[in-house]
Structure formats: C-alpha cells, structure tokens
A and B are shown apart, each in its own frame.
Chain A
Amino acid sequence: MMNSKSLRTLIGYTIFSAAVLLLPLLIDDAYTLNKFSRYLILGLATLGLSLAWGYTGILNLGHAAFFGLGAYCMAMYLKLQTVPVHTGTGGLPDFMVWNNVEQLPWFWEPFHWSYLAITAGIGIPVLLAVMLGWFVFRARIAGVFVAIITLAMLVIINLLLIDQQRYTGGFNGITDLAWLTIGGIEFDPYSKTFYYLSAGSLVVCLLGTGIFTHTKAGLILQAIRNDPDRVRFLGYDVSAYQILAFALSAGIAGLAGMLYAMVLEFASPTFVGVSLSLSMVIWCAVGGRGSLLAATLGAILVNAAQGSLSENFLETWQLILGGFFVLIVLFLPKGLISIGELIRWRRKRTDRVQVQVLSSTKRARGIS
C-alpha cells in the first residue's frame, strides 16, 4: 500500500509535527509562544482550505466565513464567563447592555456551557457548509461561479455581523474575554499549555486529514478535481463527495477560528473579512495547494515573514510582500513545495547524463 510518494509524505509530516511539538522546549518567552500559536492556528485554517481547494478543486473564497463563525462561538462562550465582573448587570454582555437589550437572546443561551460552545464552533460551520454545498453542488455549479457564491456568502455574513450590533457586538466585535478553562486546565494564550493545544490540534488535524486523503474517498476527491464527469460515469455521486470535502474543510476552519478567538482574546467582523479570506487563498497557493503540509507551511511562513517584514521595513513591507506573491506565481506555480521537485528534477537530469556517459564508456571498453 505504501508507495514511495506517500512514504515521503509521511516522513515530511512526522518531521514537521516533531518540530512543532518540540518548539516550546527551545522558547519560553510568553510573547513568542503566543505569536507562534497564532501562526499555527492560521496554518490550521489553511490546511482546511487545501483539502477543499487543493484536493477537491473547490475554490472557496469565503473560507474565512467558517473560520469567523467558529471564532464568534468561542468568543461568546468566553464572554459569558466574564459577565459578572465587567458589566455587573445581571449577566448580560456589555454590548447588549449598551444596546438596551433586556435579556440574553435564546440563541446565545447554550453558550453558557463549554462543550455546547465547542460543538457549535465546529457544528455551525459544518452545517452552513452542508447547506451551501447542497445548494451549489447539487446544481453542478463549478469553477469561478463557486468562488463568487462563497465570496458573496462571506460578505453577507460580514455585513450581518456588523449590522446586528445588539447580538454580535457589531464592528467592535466581542472583546474582554476570559481564558478557556476545561477540566481544571486554564489555557492562558501566552503559556505553553495553550501552545500545545494549538500545536496539538494542528498535528491531529494534519495527520487525520492526511490519512483521509489516502483513503478511497480521498482518492475520489482528487479524481473530482481532475474530471468530475468521468467520476460520475464510474458511479460515484460527485455532489455528495464535494459536500463531504466542503464540510470537513469548514469544520477544520471552525476549530481554527475558535483557537484564534482564544489567542487574540477577541473576535471581530474582520475575522469574516474579504481580505483575510483572500489572504488564506494566497497562503495556500504560496505554500502549494496540492499538499496539506505545504499549504500549512505556506500560511506559517507568509505570516511569520509578514510579521518581521512589517517591523523592519515599515514603509515598504507591502511592496515586498506583493512582489513575493507575483514571483511565486510566475516561477513556482505549484508553490514553495515545488522547490523540492525542481531540485529532484534537476538532480534526475544530471543522473541521466552520468548514466549515458557511463554506458558509452563501458561499451567503448566492451564491458557492457
């Protein structure tokens, strides 16, 4: 079952997971741990996108919608944990008090309990993905039209989050959050425990999705990206598989969103913004959308670079970043990951040349 390609992928996964999990042994500076947790979480979100786009060919420009909904679910739970301290008015979040809301709306009621909030954080994006997937894929809508519909969905959710200020905190979002405490463990976003939570989630999702892509269903998804009609004529219900991939990708994004709300200690409509959503597509493409690990690495590297670039090149960091994206598209179409292939290809070409030289000399000496 293990051909050389998937063996290589497995080794890549193990090295990456080891590096990510061993990192805290090298650093214990609170800010750096927090910063890397944030990069890993954005990597996790991009991992989800790579499953939908890289593997199944669904270009989801609205991926941040699932990410943001996850963030809002967790933020609301953490908000309701702090209520008595800050606003001191009968358990209502501050933005509801400001908008003269009398009592907590029914749909926020379940968010008093952590396990319900976490299920919602993953469940709501998955539910939305299934509904949208059924609406789009049953009608065999494909390519750019899917991208446009997902983008429109994103803008709708963004506008509603800002407009329904009474229930969502509007443009300021939900701020002043407590830290998540489950089973006695407090996840302080600047601590190693939180870093392990995000790194652990990333590694589990990476390995889980990696294995999934190697199952028959995973192979079918790649076939769908390649030629959906042929897949239909083999008897597979293409739209069902597309919805599966879309929902899985949304679930992973929801999980990443929840972690993001915890690491930044707030949730805002910009988590459901067009620029963040397009950035995720960019990170996925820069890393290499065809491989889960490459997309994740792409997100981590671009965000790390963006962080340090904007610190040292205050005036020109956007110029450098824009130029970087253009160069990637022109010279490394399959993303940074294809650097490996480029080297292997050049190495193969040199090997072949040696082989010819070798055989011709043998012939010349009459050995072969």
Chain B
Amino acid sequence: MAYLETKGLEVSFDGFKAVDGLDFSVNQGELRCLIGANGAGKSTTLDIISGKTRQSAGSILLDGVDITDKHEHHRARAGIGRKFQVPSIFSELTVRENLQLAYSKQTSIRHNIFSWPGSAGRERIEEVVELTGLRDRLDTQASFLSHGETQWLEISMLIIQDSKIILMDEPTAGMTIGETQKTAAIFNSLKGHHTLVVVEHDMTFVREIAEIITVLHQGKLLAEGTVGEIEINPRVQEAYLGSGGISHA
C-alpha cells in the first residue's frame, strides 16, 4: 500500500489549473524524482502536500491517514518535511540554533519551556553535521553561510527533523559540481530510512539517485518509470524534449 498517495489533486489560481487531477503515490523508503518543465506544477504539488497552499479539490493520504485538511504543523508532526526552492533557514540564528530547532520531537509549549535548546538531540546533530560537513560552522550566524552551505543546512535540518517523508525542492540549485555529487551521496545514504520526493532539473544528479521518475506536464501526470524507460518514452520526448535526448532538459 503506497505510503503517500494523492487522489484527483487540483489547484487553480483564478482559472489557471496549476495542478489538474493528479493521482500520484510513493512507497515507503523509496526515492522518487519529480521532473517537468517550468510551470508543470512540481513545486505547487509539494506546496499542497506540505500544506503551504490549499488545494481546490482532491485528497492526500499519508500512511493511510487523510491529511487533506490538516494545518502545516499537524502535517509536519505526521511526518512531512519540506525543503524549499529558495532555502528557508533562520538567518538571524546560528547554525547550531537552526539545528536545535529542527529537532522537533517535542513541539508542546509545556515541554519546551522547561528544557534547554541543547539538552535533546545533541548526538543526532553531531552525526548529521558530520555527514553534511557543517561541523566547523556550528556557531556562525546562518546568514554568513555560502549558498551551498545554506542548502546543506536546510537538508541537515530536515534529516534532524527525522520526517518520514522529505519533500526536496531543487536541493542542488546553485551548487557546484562537487557539491552536487556530495549531495547525491547524502541522498543515497538516506534511502530506506526516509521516503524522499525530489524535484530536480539537473538530470546528471537525477540519474545518480533516481529509482523511479515521475514526469509532470501542465499539472497532469505524463509518465512514470525508471530513467531508461523515461528517456525512450515517446510522449515525454514529444512533450518537451523536442529533438535532443533528455540530458539537456
């Protein structure tokens, strides 16, 4: 039974249907890549699943539970983590504070009033910081990080948040080749523990990490399958590859 499932998902901004009747499902522990041209509805789909935008129709099931009308923080507690296209971190706080906040096992006021930020999740933070190479940046203010480091900070926050399903919106945007490869290594290490939905344009990165790829086109599901199947799929080629192969999408 699929871990995350959307049925007939629809959202329209005064007439224009950004997402049009999308049925889409992801299994436990899988890494699903979501690709498509600009405006195909990739980010909007993530927005709806994470609760940032309200859908006009359709429903969302997480592990069998209907979360269609839940607030963002309820969805987050239910296990949905979201990485934004423009990295959204707490620029005025230090890296360590960002990570401490991400450790949000206990979200109630009663608990958080009587606990220090650093008391819980210390080892978890050490582990992740080791993984993403932010160890020596722990006490610098987040606004002083480079673009790559900011992306990794947000990725580290999502790992620490330990959400069951992580929605990544173009995590490698603006990264160097080396940084992208490092990110691919991190993602591969997450497979199995977490379910990942990654929206990406960089096909070399997609080819590194993808198992199944879903292609969106004008808010509808165009095709689904392995990298090989997608590359030779006529409808995908005709829809937006034009003449050349998939590589320079």
Contacts and interface: CB of A to CB of B under 8 A. Distances in A.
Contacts of A244: 109
Nearest to A240: B109
Interface in B67-99: 71-73, 76-77, 81-82, 88-93, 97
Interface string A181-225: 000000000000000000000000000000010111101101101
A216 B116 contact: yes
B104 interface: yes
Given A3-B139, A216-B116, A232-B76, A226 B92 contact: yes
Nearest to A243: B109
A241 interface: yes
B161 A219 contact: no
Contacts of A233: 50, 52, 72-73, 76, 81-82
B113 interface: yes
Contacts of B115: 215-216
A234 B71 CA distance: 12
A219 B73 CA distance: 17
A212 B50 CA distance: 31
A329 B107 CA distance: 37
A237 B115 CA distance: 17
Given A215-B115, A230-B90, A236 B97 contact: no
Nearest to A230: B88
A222 B93 contact: yes
A226 B91 contact: yes
B203 interface: no
Nearest to A214: B116
A222 B51 CA distance: 23
A222 B142 CA distance: 14
A231 B51 CA distance: 13
Contacts of B52: 229, 233
Interface residues of A, number: 27
A25 interface: no
B113 A219 contact: no
B45 interface: no
A241 B81 CA distance: 20
Interface in B143-158: 157
A227 B90 contact: yes
A280 B88 CA distance: 33
A219 B104 contact: no
A235 interface: yes
A367 interface: no
Contacts of A219: 93, 97, 100-101, 117
Interface in B111-134: 111-119
A26 interface: no
A353 interface: no
A223 B104 CA distance: 13
Contacts of A216: 100, 111-113, 115-117, 119
A241 B110 CA distance: 11
A207 B67 CA distance: 42
A238 interface: yes
B161 A235 contact: yes
Q: Size class of B's contact patch?
A: 35 or more
B148 to A, nearest CB: 19
Contact of A215 (B72, B90, B107, B113): B113
A1 B115 CA distance: 12
Contacts of B100: 216, 219
A234 B116 contact: no
Contact of B73 (A215, A217, A223, A232): A232
B102 interface: yes
Contact of B88 (A3, A215, A222, A227): A227
A232 B139 CA distance: 24
A1 B90 contact: no
A215 B102 contact: no
Contacts of B114: 215
Contacts of B72: 229, 232-233
B193 to A, nearest CB: 18
Interface string A344-364: 000000000000000000000
Given A215-B115, A216-B112, A223 B71 contact: no
A83 B119 CA distance: 55
Nearest to A244: B109
B88 A238 contact: no
Contacts of A215: 112-117
A220 B107 CA distance: 10
B92 A220 contact: no
B54 to A, nearest CB: 13
Given A220-B112, A226-B91, A236-B73, A1 B104 contact: no
A288 to B, nearest CB: 14
Contacts of B119: 216
A345 to B, nearest CB: 14
A237 to B, nearest CB: 5
A245 B115 CA distance: 17
A217 B109 contact: yes
21 contacts: A212-B113, A215-B114, A216-B116, A216-B117, A216-B119, A219-B117, A220-B101, A222-B97, A225-B92, A226-B90, A227-B89, A227-B90, A229-B88, A230-B90, A234-B76, A235-B76, A235-B77, A235-B107, A237-B71, A241-B109, A244-B109
Given A219-B93, A222-B92, A238-B73, 8 more contacts: A216-B100, A216-B112, A216-B115, A226-B91, A230-B88, A233-B76, A235-B76, A237-B107
